[in-house]
Structure 1
């Protein structure tokens, strides 16, 4: 009897998980399907789900009108650069909080996290003026720095959580063997926290890839990433849903592929240390 109840519960949980997953994925699926419709079919009422004339015209128009590869390269550089720079800064910070006892550690972590609660528009004007003064407005360097700073609290929090699961005795043994601070972090701590660091890299790369507010306000043309590529299809002349959907599909395709192939590593990293 207990086995039957357990089996029913498993089926119910599986069905619920699939339902939630499909609900979350449906907007992406609808965007992809709309990208293959004509403009008339894209705004048809009632909406057409599958019974429409499939066409690649929207992708051809988008590719002809915009230099997709330039936007893609900018996105890769900005997201990748900000993620790597953030981890370089966050690893020593998380190490010091995890292994150097301090009564203020939790307060510092909460203060860092509280910076994410500040509306971005509240600091847009001073950052915009600062970028003009430094000459990094509409530059990849400027966007790498600002996106890294935005996501840095999350990176530090995640790495701190992973580092706390590593026994401090291992690091003490490394010090007794003559390891300095650099060797301790690079050759002892980092290899043991590879799953956590990898999941942190993946998650923050996705966050940086999807960052829209700062990339739209601090770029014009030269450093514009895929978020600006999508926004360019919302014009005063009208909103062309099919072409906008094609541009959106082209923008999210790389990150969807990355997420699909790295999902096991991401789950492994997010559950790192959860089971002892």
Structure 2
């Protein structure tokens, strides 16, 4: 005779914890803020996504009002932009923009790092007046100094010269770089610098091997912002360049011709011109976040 089987009672369901009203209210507020943040993020990305989608349409489909989302996709606008049909090619303008932006950014970093060091770690006398002087150089509208700069470039034979843009972009971005790097270098421990000096390190060694590695996120953030400002600059490049030193934003204006507005080709050109800045931001995004948040939490 077999023994009777004993079945275990089913496990009791664990009751869900009841949150207090304050916690439920905080959770609903957090969910609402998250939803608002997602909507705002999509709102900022929507124009760029719309531009990319329009660049993949044919000109008749891109010119419809309202635009057709179900239209077939094509790369004809990009082929036309890069001169596949025998038209002008944008490569010289892209190379000019890249050269002016990179060289001016490197020159800004070389000049701004010692200046920020003198204003944050080894502070000079009346350093606040010096900081205000750097800030005051940004108070003059750019267009107000355009005529004397044009006359100077004309009399010195530097019109349509890429090195003139390098000098202008350096002077334009240097005050911003000094202000940013001064706040970044203020968080560098002075004891480390003093220890390096005790070991016999000179100023250039301290800047290159001690200060620069510690403030690398801030330097990367400064370099990225200077690169973006130089790449997107239009006024100086439009007035002071012609054919040889023409930059990408100036070439982008030429897409709008007297023959009409080719919307798909214009969007394709805008996407291509925006790619270097997006690539630089993506490559340095971790350093950019660290640099912009450096010193924010004490």
Residue 18 (structure 1) aligns with = 38
More helix by share: 1
Deviation of residue 107 (structure 1)?
2.5
Residue 147 (structure 1) aligns with = 169
Contact 1:229 1:247 in 2 (8 A): no
Residue 51 (structure 1) aligns with = 70
- SS of alignment partner, residue 60 of structure 1: helix
Superposed, which structure 2 residues align to 1:42-191 within 5 Å? 42-48=62-68, 50-64=69-83, 65-102=87-124, 104-191=126-213
Name stretches of at least 5 consecutive residues in structure 2 with no aligned partner: 1-19
Q: Which has the larger radius of gyration?
A: 2
Name stretches of at least 5 consecutive residues in structure 1 with no aligned partner: none
C-alpha offsets along residues 62-103 of structure 1, whole Å, 9 cap, x if unaligned?
Answer: 111232222221121111111010000100111111123345
Residue 247 (structure 1) aligns with = 269
- Given candidates 204, 214, 229, the residue that maps to 1:207 is 229
- SS of alignment partner, residue 234 of structure 1: coil
> Counterparts of 1:258 and 1:6 in 2: how far apart (Å)?
38
- SS of alignment partner, residue 238 of structure 1: coil
C-alpha offsets along residues 96-134 of structure 1, whole Å, 9 cap, x if unaligned?
Answer: 111233453222222322322322111111111111222
Contact 1:82 1:144 in 2 (8 A): yes
How large is the Cα RMSD of the aligned pairs? 1.8
Point out which structure has higher relative CO (alpha carbons under 8 A, 6+ apart).
1
Deviation larger for 123-132 or 257-266: 257-266
Q: How many correspondences in the alignment?
A: 275
